[in-house]
Every structure is written in structure tokens, then in C-alpha cells.
Structure 1
Amino acid sequence: MSPSSTMLVLGISHASAPLDLLERLAGTDRPAEDLVSDVTSVDGIDAAVVVSTCNRLEIYAETRGGSDGAGDPEGLTGLGELFAQHTGVDHEEIAPHLYSHHADGAVRHLFAVASGLESVVVGEDQILGQVKLGLERSQRLDRTGRVLAKAVQTALRVGKRARNETGLNEAGRSLATAGLGFFERRVGSLHGKTALVIGAGAFAGVVVAALRRSGLDRVHVANRTPEKAQRLAETTGGVGYDLTDLPRLLTEVDVVVGATAATGHLVTARQVEEALAARDGRELFLLDLSLPHNIAPGAAELPGVTFVDLRRIAEEGQEDEISAASVQAAHELIDAEVEQFRTGLRLAGAKPVLTALRTAATEAAEAELDRLARRLEGVDNAVRREIDRSVRRIVDKALHQPTVLVRELAADPDGARHIAAFTRLFAAAEAEGDTPQKPHEHDPNEKKIEAIA
């Protein structure tokens, strides 16, 4: 990290908390924009990005005065309370399930999240869009700092690399394909069956595409806005419906998938029970991919229903488990990217020092050339230009080796210390150079200049 700023992340996810707690957290009606604003109002925090999904809520923050060392970074205290205030859940209940990372650990975690390594379904793609959405949200609020913005932009690139170069996305993995896998292991292929997706947002679009690829005959869509449902359903030859049509549709389709951010149950156990009575013994497959639940969990207890939700996917895993070699390759790629990111920050930290060094040298040369111009008024312009070029070449040659050395030292693991030492040395030398000459002191080259003139 930069010697003047660092990154930290505080979060809660399916890996650290039970899904019933995550469901309550996801039930908040406060927008993520509020959390971003609250975080950046904390003393010492200059920027924040919030990644919010149905099974993850994370605050990435850029703080002042951080370091690469261990310890509790400035700004972490109080963020847990903000979690509680934002979600409406007591801090004492959330605290045991929170995790935090800072400096390189925060960057590594962000890269792993964007790569899908921290997802319920390893390698799934949608998290990339959710990370991007978090960055865009903070940019609209003007709450992104240099380090944080660069880290998130790099994470998006790393996430794509990890999928494309390590085999993480070979099967087009998603929560939808994982859920369908449970059904197929129970009854075989779903080819020729009909599905209904509840929701018409971005996530529902991913689900519709996954269902269509699985061989289902038709995929219908139901939404509060029938027009949006129709537009999405038309992409797969289905029909769009209003949510009021759900009771009837439950009697007709084979697979129902909940994929909205609604905070209440859109399908109740009573509706499912009544639909089963009209299905003539045909089994109903319910796949709830939302938190809070779109489908009342009580429907899982009814005979004739196979119910799969995020809890079951997380607890039982997936049959098409990604190979250990692919996961290891992704982690190695991330480690290399973290080191490259850290080196880039150190090099960026050296730029102000190099700029100040070149500026000081250039100004000194300009001052000397101006003095020479006044003393050599009779010299031909061609000679003046040659003197000017010579002095500037001397400056460039004199600065070349120090510039190379500063960049090499900045890339070193102890680069921050090297740059700090060089900055102090340069400041001391600059102060010495600013010391005015005593009246009786004269430039030792003055007589030589007079002779040339």
C-alpha cells in the first residue's frame, strides 16, 4: 500500500454467517448509497465501495495514515456499528460473524471475491457485475479514492483473467446451474419441461439464460411490471406475466425459480399446497435463489415438492465441483497480481519525489542559464542555444542514475521506507541549497565568465 493510505475490508457473507442472519441483513430497505456515505463520514476514511449481494455485504475503505504492517488499521473501529445501523440488526449479533482484512490482505480478498473464489458457487460470474456496480455507485457519490478505485478496477480485470485462464468458468457456473443440478440428480434431465422465473432484473436475466441452456422447453417470467417480464421472457420464447398470475402458473409449470430482491414471500406455502392438488401428482421443483426468500420455506415440507435454496447449495456443494488444480491456479494468479498491484503503488509513491527532484534541478539550470544570458549579452544566438542544450544534457545525465535507483528502491518490498529516506535526504539537500550566500562570497567561476565575455 501507499505510505499515506491503505485499504481495509469489513464484511459478512455466507462463509461467516448463517443464511437466516444474512436473510435478515438483506431485508433492509436502506440503499447501499446510505452506507457508503456513512462510512466516508468516519474520521480517517476518505473513500468507500460497498459490495452488496443476497449472501454478502462488504465495505471496502481507503484510510489515511495506514501501513503495510499488522494491527488494527485506523478507521476500522465503528464500522461494525455502521453495519448494525444500516441493517437494523443488533451489533452484538452481527459482530461474531464479521471478518476484516487490511493492506495487502484486503486487496487479496477483493481479487478473490471478484474471481468468484468466495462465492457460494465457485467461479460464478455475477459477482463481477456486483463489484462493478459497487464501484460505479461510489463514483456517482464522488466517494472513490485513488488507491481504492485502482484496486477495484484491477479486481475486475483479475476476475476475468482468473475465469479465462484457470478453468473456473468452464461450465458456465452460476447459482441457477447449481440448483438445477440438484433437480437433475433426482429426476434426470429437465429437457422438455417448463420453467417460471420470478423477477425480471439483471439476476433474473442470468437465471433465464441458464435455464434455457439446460434444455428446458420454455421459460416464462413473472414480475410486478408485466412489460419487463415480457421483454425478458421473449428472449427464450416464453411469456411474461404479472405476479397476480402466480397461483395459476404454479399448477402449470414444472420448475419455479425465485430471483428477485423482494423482502416478502411472493409464493406462500398455501399457494403451493393448493397448486399441488390440481397437478394430478406431477412433482413441482422450487428453486429459491434469493435472500430474503421469494418462496416460503414451508413449501419444502409439502409432499410432491423438491425445494432447493441457497442454504442447500452452500451446505451440500455441487456435483460439478471445480478441480483443486483450477482453484490453486486462480490463487497463484491472484498472489502475483497482488504483488504487482503493491509494486505499482510503491512506484506511484515515488513519482512525487522524482518530480520534485527534476523540478528542482531544472529550476536551478534555468536560473544559471538566465544568469549566463545576462553576462554573455554579446554572444551569438547559436552559441547561446548550444550552451542551453549542454546544460540541459548535463541535468538529464545527472538525474538518470538517481531516477533509476529510486524506481528500483520503490519496487523493493521495503520501498516505502526507501522513498521516505530519499525524501528526507532530498529535502535536506534542497534546504542547504536555499541557504543565501554571504555578501562577501563570490561565485568562483565569475572571473572565467568575464574572460569569455
Structure 2
Amino acid sequence: MTSSATMLVLGISHASAPLDLLERLAGTDRPAEDLVSDATSVDGIDAAVVVSTCNRLEIYAETRGGPSGPGDLGDLGDLFAQHTGVDRDEIAPHLYSHHADGAVRHLFAVASGLESVVVGEDQILGQVKLGLERSQRLDRTGRVLAKAVQTALRVGKRARNETGLNEAGRSLATAGLGFFEREVGSLHGKTALVIGAGAFAGVVVAALRRSGLDRVHVANRTPDKAQRLADTTGGTGYGLEDVPRLLTEVDVVVGATAATGHLVTAGHVEEALAARDGRELFLLDLSLPHNIAPGAAELPGVTFVDLRRIAEEGQEDEISAASVQAAHELIDAEVEQFRTGLRLAGAKPVLTALRTAATEAAEAELDRLERRLDGLDGAARQEIGRSVRRIVDKALHQPTVLVRELAADPDGARHIAAFTRLFAAAESHGDDGDRTNDPNEKKIEAIA
């Protein structure tokens, strides 16, 4: 991080809070845009990106002389309570924060799927990208924060492609279906109903198709949208009012919508089981808040899997520890590269000021010479001009290289600050003990 801009993250997720609390947090009707706007209204917060999923709510913020750590987050923590309607005292014990390099490392790990319920899943990449695009629409994304998120998206792809995290093509949907397949065998030839028709539901439908199901139907508040998604599988689109009836016909039901309130109740399931002639019903709820009432899990003839079970029991096809370790090592290297890039960017203003001062002084000297040496012809004037400019370029070359090398050093921020103070002091000294009234001559004397 540079001395002028700092990143921090404050968040809550499945790793820090129970899923029943996350379900209540996810039940808010307030859009994430409101949280972005509220975050940037906090003193010291210049920009913000919100990553909001069914099991994660995080504020990534860029500060300039603002909060510096977990104990100095000011009003930022209160926004979680204001946004979700859950009491702050209930949320506070489950909040986590990271600052500066730690915030960047956490962001890169989140984008890589290392912080997900299912390690390595790739839906989080789209959700991080959505968070950035949301802030850009609101013009609430700073230079450092935007660069960090853009880099995180690239790092997330690298981690999956280069370390083995992507080998299993994992997602919450494939993990949930894996529970069914381990307990009852192949799902080949069975039919499914997906509740929801958004982007996540599309991922679920694709996972169901890969599992060999015969047909996948889709139910949504808007039947036309449901039909468009169902068309990709040869299924049929329905309205939500058709869900209770469809429970008697399909084998697998997947909840994949952000709707509040249970769309499938225990009563719906109980009535459907009575008409199924003993055929088992598989319920997979991947939503928070729950789409399927947890009470349905207690009914005989039902196999029920939700995010809690996925998180607590894990998956049989565990990604190797070597792949996870390789991903962390890749992230560490990317964090260092990001830090170096910021230090180099911090050096640009002082290098620009140095070159501007030298160039202005050289041009002023050339103007003075032209006034004093009226007898010079045009060719001589041009040659003198080229010579003076070459002297400036040569004089600046080594300091420029040195500043860039110092900026890349782990202690680069201090080096650049010292160089900036030295340059400012030299200019100030030139203004006092002057041998000429020309301010540009004082600048070139200071640089020399």
C-alpha cells in the first residue's frame, strides 16, 4: 500500500458466523447499492466495493488517512446492522477485518475460491466482478481499489487454472448433487426442478445437466424467464404457483433464488409424498434465505441437503492440500507484485515533478541565451537546444532509475517520501540563497 491510500475489508461470512445468522442478513430487502453509498459517506472512506452473496457480505474500502485497522473502523461496522436490520451487538462478534496488504490478500483469496463454502468454486468470481461494476456505476471506485479488484479477478482465474483448483469444476450445485449420488447412486435418467432463473440458477442447471439428469424444469416468478432457461435443457418453464404440484412429478428439487420466505413448505412436501407412491424426493437448498423449509428434512422419504450440511460435512472429492498450498503461494507472490506496483505508481508524481522542473529550467535558460546571443543563426540555436536537452536527459537518467529501484524495495514508501522531501527542500533552498532572479535557474541549480 502507498502512504496516501490504504485498503481495508470488513466482512462476515460462513467462516465467521452461523448460517442461521447469515440467512437473516441475506433476508434484507435493501439493495447492495445502498450499502456502497452509505460506506462512502463514512468519514475517511473514499471508495467502496461490496461483495454480497448468500453466505458472504463484505465491504472493501479505500481510505486516505481514515480507518487504519480493526480497532479504528468507526461507523463502518454499524452499516451492517443498518443495512440488514440485525442488531449490531449480534453481528459484531462475527465480523472480521483486514488492513493494507492483509485486505489485498483476503480479496485475492476470496476471488480464488479459497474462502468459499466449496473450496475452488468459481461463482464467486462473477460476484466479485458484479461488486466492482456496481461501484463503477455509482462512481464510488477509487484508483487503488479498482486496481485491486481487477487484479483479484485475474488472480482468481490464475489460481484455478494453474494450481488444480479448477480440475473438478466445482460449485455449490455439484457439491450438493454429490451428496445425493453418494447416498443413492447415479441421478442419470431422473428429472429435476430448479426454483429460480437468475445467473446462479443458470449455473445450477448446467451442473444438473452434467450429472446426467433426463430433464430439468425451471420455476420462477416470471414464467417466460423460466422457460428461456428451461429451453437449454429441453425442460419446461413454470410459475412459482406450480411448484407444489410439480413436487409430485420430479425427483430432485433445487432452491436457487434469493426470494425471502419459503417457496417449498413442509406441508407442500408432505402432500407430495402422499402422491409419489413411495418414490424418494431429493431436496437441495442452495439459497439463503432458505427456499425450502428445513422442516421438510424430517419427513420420511426425503433426502435434504443445504448449505449447512455442505459446509459442515465437506465433500468427498476434497481438493488436494498441495493445490490449496500452491494457490496460497501464488496469491502471496501476486500480493507482493501488487504492492510493488503501487509503490512504483507512488514514485511517478515525484519523477514527473523532477522532470518538469528540469525541463522548465532548461527552456528558460535557452530563452535567456537567445536574447543574449542575437547573432546566432538558426542551425546553431537548434544545436544548442538539442545539447541542453540531452544534458537534462542524462542528468535525470540515473536519479530516475534509482527512484524506481527504491520504490520497488520493500521499504519503498519511506524511500519515496524521503526523496520527495529532499526535492522539496532543494527547491526551497534555491529560492532563498539565489544568484539570479530567474526561478527556473533556481530549480535547475537545486536539481544539479
Normalised by the size of structure 2, how large is the TM-score?
0.96
TM-aligned CA deviation for residue 447 of structure 1: 20
- 1:78, distance to aligned residue in structure 2 (A): 1.5
Structure 1 residues 256, 70: CA separation in 2 closer, same or farther (over 3 Å shift)?
Answer: closer
- Corresponding residue of 1:447: 442
1:413 Cα deviation (Å)? 0.9
Change (3 A) 1:402 1:181: same
Q: Distance in 2 between matches of 1:158 and 1:259?
A: 27
- Residue 444 of structure 1 and its aligned partner are, at CA, apart by 17
Could you tell me the percent identity over the aligned residues?
93
Structure 1 pair 69–347 and aligned structure 2 pair: CA distance change class (3 A) = farther
Shift of 1:432: 2.1
Aligned equivalents of 1:430, 1:371: Cα separation in 2: 21
Change (3 A) 1:429 1:274: same
Structure 1 pair 361–93 and aligned structure 2 pair: CA distance change class (3 A): same
Do the aligned residues in 1 keep the contact of 2:426 with 2:447 (CA within 8 Å)?
A: no
C-alpha change, 1:308 and 1:442, in structure 2 (3 Å) is: closer
Aligned residue runs from structure 1 range 276-287, under 5 A: 276-287=273-284
Shift of 1:2: 1.2
**Cα drift, residue 376 of structure 1:** 1.3
Distance 1:12 1:443, change over 3 A: closer
Distance 1:349 1:189, change over 3 A: same
Please give the residue correspondences for 1:50-61 in structure 2 after superposition, counting only pairs within 5 Å.
50-61=50-61
Find the residue that maps to 2:269 and give its secondary structure: helix
The offset of 1:94, in angstroms, is: 0.3
Question: Contact conserved, 1:258 with 1:290, CA < 8 A, in 2?
Answer: yes
Q: Deviations over 1:214-250 (max 9, x none)?
A: 1111111000100000000010111111111111110
1:168 aligns to what SS in structure 2?
coil
1:353–1:71 CA distance, 2 compared to 1 (3 A):
farther
CA 1:345/1:244 → structure 2, altered by over 3 Å: closer, same or farther? same
Q: CA deviation at 1:433?
A: 2.3
- Given the superposition, is the C-alpha separation of residues 450 and 275 from structure 1 closer, same or farther in structure 2, using an over 3 Å criterion? closer
Give SS of 1:236's match.
Answer: coil
- 8 A contact 2:62–2:142 mirrored in 1: yes
Q: Deviations over 1:75-109 (max 9, x none)?
A: x1221111111100001000000000000000000
* Of 350, 357, 360, the match for 1:360: 357
Query: Are the aligned partners of 1:5 and 1:66 in contact in 2 as well (CA < 8 Å)?
Result: no
RMSD: 3.5
Q: Aligned partners of 1:448 and 1:141: how far apart in 2?
A: 42
CA–CA separation in structure 1 for the residues paired with 2:31 and 2:438:
69
Distance 1:445 1:254 in 2: 82
Q: Structure 1's 252 and 426: CA in aligned 2 closer, same or farther, altered over 3 A?
A: same
Residue 369 of structure 1: how far off its partner (Å): 0.2
Q: How many residues align?
A: 445
Q: CA deviation at 1:67?
A: 9.8
Question: Are 2:102 and 1:108 aligned?
Answer: no
Change (3 A) 1:445 1:82: closer
- Gapped regions of structure 1 (runs ≥ 5): 435-439
Quickly say closer, same or farther: Cα 1:263–1:349, change in 2 above 3 A: same
Q: Following the alignment from structure 2 to structure 1, what is the Cα–Cα distance between the partners of residues 155 and 317?
A: 23
Per-residue CA deviation, residues 270-317 of structure 1 (Å, 9 max, x unaligned), is: 000000000000000000000000000000000000000000000000
User: Hey, what's the Cα distance between the residues in 1 that align with 2:446 and 2:133?
Assistant: 67
- Rate the CA distance shift 1:425–1:441 in 2: closer, same or farther, 3 A: closer
Q: Is the contact made by 2:223 and 2:237 (CA closer than 8 Å) also made in structure 1?
A: yes
Give the C-alpha shift of residue 450 in structure 1: 22
Query: Distance in 2 between the 1:60 and 1:401 partners?
Result: 38
Aligned to 2:374, the other structure's residue is in SS state coil
SS in 2 for 1:79: coil
Change (3 A) 1:369 1:274: same
The two structures have a TM-score, normalised by structure 1, of 0.95
Q: What CA deviation, in whole Å up to 9, does each residue of 1:116-148 have, x standing for no partner?
A: 000000110100000000001101111000100
1:380 to partner: Cα distance: 1.1
Q: In the alignment, is the contact (CA less than 8 A) between 1:12 and 1:97 conserved in 2?
A: yes
Q: CA deviation at 1:68?
A: 8.8
Distance in 2 between residues matched to 1:423 and 1:251, nearest whole Å? 74
My pick for the range that moved more, 270-279 or 238-247, is 238-247
Contact in 2 for aligned 1:48/1:61 (Cα 8 Å): yes
Q: In structure 2, do the counterparts of structure 1 residues 365 and 230 end up closer, same or farther at CA, with 3 Å as the change threshold?
A: same
Q: 1:30 to 1:450 in 2, by over 3 A?
A: closer
**Alpha-carbon separation, structure 2, partners of 1:2 and 1:348:** 9
